[in-house]
Amino acid sequence: MRSRKSKRSVRFAGSRVSGALVARALVAGLLVAVAITAASSMVTSRAAAQDANGGAGTGRETEFVAMTGPAQESVPGGALLVSAYAAVFVLLAAYVGRLALLQAATSRELARLEAALRAADAKGAPSVESAQKGAEGER
């Protein structure tokens, strides 16, 4: 059995891109998504802390106003939205990258099998069609 170095690569925009490069790009995308999420959470928490510590405000923020009706929860929607989109983007990029690597591996295997069939035909080995006809004749 011969040993081959298997380099995974995919075709992207007509050129070959290595699997390691695809993995690095996915990791970089994940790090960017985490950084954006952390930054938006910090901005939201600073704004909430400023409001809680008596930030510059006029009107309702500086006076006590009794609430009527049920209490409403305040969730930072912007940070959650950015986080959700970042997570979906990273997962989608990982999925597409994995599909590209699988497709490249399948293409290499197909090329190897085609070369093996051509080599077997050149040596005079029976072809697949003749082997199938012989098997049908034995039945």
Q: What is the pLDDT of residue 12?
A: 61
Taken in order 6, 8, 14, 15, the sign of the CA dihedral is negative
What's the CA gap between 62 and 32, in Å, rounded? 38
pLDDT digits (tens, 9 = 90+) for 105-139: 999 999 999 999 999 888 886 666 666 666 666 65
Q: What is the pLDDT of residue 92?
A: 96
Distances (CA, A) of 75 to 38, 41, 60: 16, 11, 20
pTM score of the predicted model: 0.41
Structure tokens at 115: 């070369």
pLDDT (tens, 9 = 90+) of the chain, 139 residues, equals: 444 555 566 666 666 777 777 778 888 888 888 888 888 877 776 666 665 655 555 555 677 777 777 777 677 788 889 999 999 999 999 999 999 999 999 999 999 999 999 998 888 866 666 666 666 666 5
Q: Which residue from 3, 24, 11 is spatially nearest to 107, judged by alpha carbons?
A: 11
Q: What is the pLDDT of residue 1?
A: 45
